[in-house]
Chain A
Amino acid sequence: MKLLEDQIEELKRISPSLSIAEEGGFTYIFMKNFKLPENCTPATMDVLLLPMFKDGYNYRLFLPQIPGNIPSLNWNARNVRILGHTWNACSWAITRTDLRLIEMLSLLLKPLRK
């Protein structure tokens, strides 16, 4: 998947040290020390954004651990292995398929907010 440069630049404004990686035909965006919603503990984590359809979801956000102090969610992807690292993701379906990277990230963070 070819990611649009302007959307990457837009994302870099909130995560300057992002990097892109591919595995299994999927493109992932890794964001180091990403600032999670205020209620989350810890406040920052390395996160992995999958900006394409996989496993029935249009987009997904993977976290290395399930944050504390968040609403109850269905973490149906637990300890999944991607790029040689272990990740978790909650079930949060976004039906729109025309979102910019920054918009998908914002919607994927929504369930973590209190």
Chain B
Amino acid sequence: MKSTPPEYIMRIPASIYKQAIDDLKRPHPFAFERVGFFSTSVSKMHNGKCIVTITEYHSLADSQYIDDKNAGAVISSESIRQCMQRILKTKKGCFHVHLHNHSGKPSPSFTDLSSLPSVARSFFNANPDLCSGYLILSKNSFYASIQNPNPSVSIEPERITIVGYPMSFSFKSINAKKSDHHDRQTFLGENLEYLLEGVRVGIVGMGGGGSHIIQQLAHIGIKNYVLFDDDIIERSNLNRLVGGWDSDVAKKSLKVNIAKRLIRKILPKAVVNPIVLRWQNNPEELQQCDIVIGCMDAFTDREQLEAECRRFLMPYIDIGMDVFQLPGQAPHIAGQVILSMPGSSCMRCMQFITEEKLAFEAGKYGVAGNRPQVVWPNGVLASSAVGILIDLITGWTRQENVLKYLTYDGNSGVVVKHPRLNYTKNECTHFCLTETGTKIF
């Protein structure tokens, strides 16, 4: 029986990508170009898709190049052997990587096509369960070929993402058409339609926060959604669940189905995957998202979701609100929006998640309780989160590597940068970029 080749999603941390670019741009004493290697981790899904995360870049020593003017770079067999040894030792796949120093999508040259497939096959043969191949970088795009058990078939990933602020995307089969829909948001960049067509957003929690978010994302034109919530709408949700109707309460409509209806009323061709489960019960659907937004009450849920997003190199945006009241004082609304970017500070680094909060919650058996919730703070926080997401994918503000931890004072109506960011380094001591993908024991 003929088997269908798997589909691949490839993710590269921006810091490792930059390390590779900086190295590959260095002049060599005699070679015209440089070569390096990426280590990869692969997570295979039940639906045949595979997520490939780049975990490390390995520069090639000057001495490993052979002086041969017939090609841009000829490297020693010893360097290939070292890569194969590394595959066996680390249980990580390997990609040959080099740079075509132009803009636009690169494609393999005649020399690349005649030499690189055999290199990729050597890597593949060292451990066929891993993911190996070759990758060509350009100034602003990428080409990847993944080695398949059938040597005559090479597979180009469905999507390649550079995970940084801002992100970069290369989708294999997206042909976005110009639409009047975007006439008033052209400042978001000339690739806007392409990005909105290709980017897949996961939203966990379709209550007061999540329902606002999907409405705004649909208005902007995001086409692909994975929505998680195992709950139905109740009358007490009508005070804030955008898109929820009185008739939904009687019908006990699922929140994800209400969200799907709302998205489709705005964007009839949107691809919406409503999942009536906790995300932990279907993590593979989450892992295929490019960006995840969490709208949950419990800190333990946030902690797990952030860890999963770090492991699969997905930026995670967290929103939440609470109402406090001290004796004799007016109630106080507070909230936060946090971007947890793989490779940068996590929610523990920012001291938003602490052992004290988790222990307190565990004492209540993980139940966050029926906290007060109202529609307008959710709207403010959701709008801020959508703003971060759109900047992340389009880069329209031209900010780079920024930490985002916004704090909301609902009584004064002010959103500001959280003061803790002044004392937070833009690095993470809790999650390591070399430890991505499903851990192989």
Q: Of A74, A79, A84, A91, which is within 8 A of B439 by CB?
A: A84
A56-B358 CB under 8 A given contacts A23-B435, A84-B439 = yes
Instruction: Say whether B283 contacts A23, CB under 8 Å.
Output: no
Instruction: Give the number of residues in B that approach A within 8 Å (Cβ atoms).
Output: 34
Instruction: Say whether A85 contacts B430, CB under 8 Å.
Output: no
Instruction: Say whether B362 contacts A56, CB under 8 Å.
Output: yes
Instruction: Say whether A82 contacts B435, CB under 8 Å.
Output: no
A79-B363 CB under 8 A given contacts A23-B435, A55-B300 = no
**Which residues of the partner chain A approach B365 to less than 8 Å between Cβ atoms?**
74, 76, 91
Instruction: Say whether B280 contacts A25, CB under 8 Å.
Output: no
**Which residues of the partner chain B approach A46 to less than 8 Å between Cβ atoms?**
441
Instruction: Say whether A86 contacts B431, CB under 8 Å.
Output: no
B293-314 near A? 1/0 per residue, CB < 8 Å: 0000000100110111011100
Q: Of B310, B355, B435, B437, which is within 8 A of A53 by CB?
A: B355
Instruction: Say whether B280 contacts A81, CB under 8 Å.
Output: yes
Q: How far is the CA of A22 from the CA of B435 in the complex (A)?
A: 8
The residue in A32, A83, A84 that gathers the most chain B C-beta atoms within 10 A of its C-beta is: A84
Chain B residue nearest in CB terms to A82: B307
Instruction: Say whether B438 contacts A85, CB under 8 Å.
Output: yes
**Which residues of the partner chain B approach A76 to less than 8 Å between Cβ atoms?**
362, 365-366
**Which residues of the partner chain A approach B435 to less than 8 Å between Cβ atoms?**
21-23
- CB B417 to nearest CB in A, in angstroms, measures 24
- List A residues 12-61 near B (Cβ within 8 Å): 19, 21-25, 30, 32, 46, 53-57
Instruction: Give the number of residues in A that approach B within 8 Å (Cβ atoms).
Output: 25
A80 contacts the other chain (Cβ, under 8 Å)?
Answer: yes
Instruction: Say whether B281 contacts A79, CB under 8 Å.
Output: yes
- List B residues 67-91 near A (Cβ within 8 Å): none
Chain A residue nearest in CB terms to B300: A55
**Which residues of the partner chain B approach A56 to less than 8 Å between Cβ atoms?**
358-360, 362-363
A23-B429 CB under 8 A given contacts A46-B441, A56-B359 = no
Q: Of B280, B346, B429, which is within 8 A of A79 by CB?
A: B280
Tally the A-B contacts, defined by beta carbons under 8 Å.
Answer: 70
Instruction: Say whether B348 contacts A55, CB under 8 Å.
Output: no
A81-B441 CB under 8 A given contacts A25-B348, A54-B358, A55-B359 = no
- CB A92 to nearest CB in B, in angstroms, measures 12
Q: How far is the CA of A82 from the CA of B311 in the complex (A)?
A: 10
Instruction: Say whether B280 contacts A24, CB under 8 Å.
Output: no
B432 contacts the other chain (Cβ, under 8 Å)?
Answer: yes
B257 contacts the other chain (Cβ, under 8 Å)?
Answer: no
A54-B366 CB under 8 A given contacts A22-B435, A25-B429, A32-B441 = no
Instruction: Say whether B441 contacts A21, CB under 8 Å.
Output: yes
B278 contacts the other chain (Cβ, under 8 Å)?
Answer: yes
B39 contacts the other chain (Cβ, under 8 Å)?
Answer: no
A55-B438 CB under 8 A given contacts A79-B278, A81-B280, A82-B307 = no
B378 contacts the other chain (Cβ, under 8 Å)?
Answer: no
A70-94 near B? 1/0 per residue, CB < 8 Å: 0000101001111111100001000
Q: How far is the CA of A23 from the CA of B439 in the complex (A)?
A: 10
- CB B340 to nearest CB in A, in angstroms, measures 11
Instruction: Say whether A81 contacts B307, CB under 8 Å.
Output: yes
Instruction: Say whether B358 contacts A25, CB under 8 Å.
Output: no
A54-B281 CB under 8 A given contacts A25-B348, A46-B441 = no
B336 contacts the other chain (Cβ, under 8 Å)?
Answer: no
- CB A48 to nearest CB in B, in angstroms, measures 9
B40 contacts the other chain (Cβ, under 8 Å)?
Answer: no
Q: Of B280, B362, B430, which is within 8 A of A86 by CB?
A: B280
Q: How far is the CA of A19 from the CA of B439 in the complex (A)?
A: 11
Q: How far is the CA of A81 from the CA of B311 in the complex (A)?
A: 11
Q: Of A54, A74, A86, which is within 8 A of B355 by CB?
A: A54
- List B residues 36-74 near A (Cβ within 8 Å): 43
Instruction: Say whether B308 contacts A25, CB under 8 Å.
Output: no
Instruction: Say whether B441 contacts A30, CB under 8 Å.
Output: yes
- CB A41 to nearest CB in B, in angstroms, measures 23
Chain B residue nearest in CB terms to A76: B365
A86-B283 CB under 8 A given contacts A21-B441, A23-B311, A24-B348 = yes
A21-B439 CB under 8 A given contacts A55-B358, A80-B280 = yes
The residue in A19, A21, A55, A82 that gathers the most chain B C-beta atoms within 10 A of its C-beta is: A55
Chain A residue nearest in CB terms to B305: A81
**Which residues of the partner chain B approach A23 to less than 8 Å between Cβ atoms?**
307, 311, 431, 435, 439
A81-B304 CB under 8 A given contacts A21-B439, A23-B435, A55-B358 = yes
- CB B196 to nearest CB in A, in angstroms, measures 29
Q: How far is the CA of A83 from the CA of B283 in the complex (A)?
A: 12
**Which residues of the partner chain A approach B346 to less than 8 Å between Cβ atoms?**
24
A-B contact pairs, 13 of them (CB 8 A): A23-B311, A23-B431, A24-B303, A24-B310, A25-B429, A32-B441, A46-B441, A55-B355, A55-B359, A79-B278, A80-B280, A83-B438, A84-B308
CB-CB nearest 9 A-B residue pairs? A84-B438, A56-B362, A56-B359, A25-B430, A83-B439, A55-B362, A79-B280, A30-B441, A55-B358
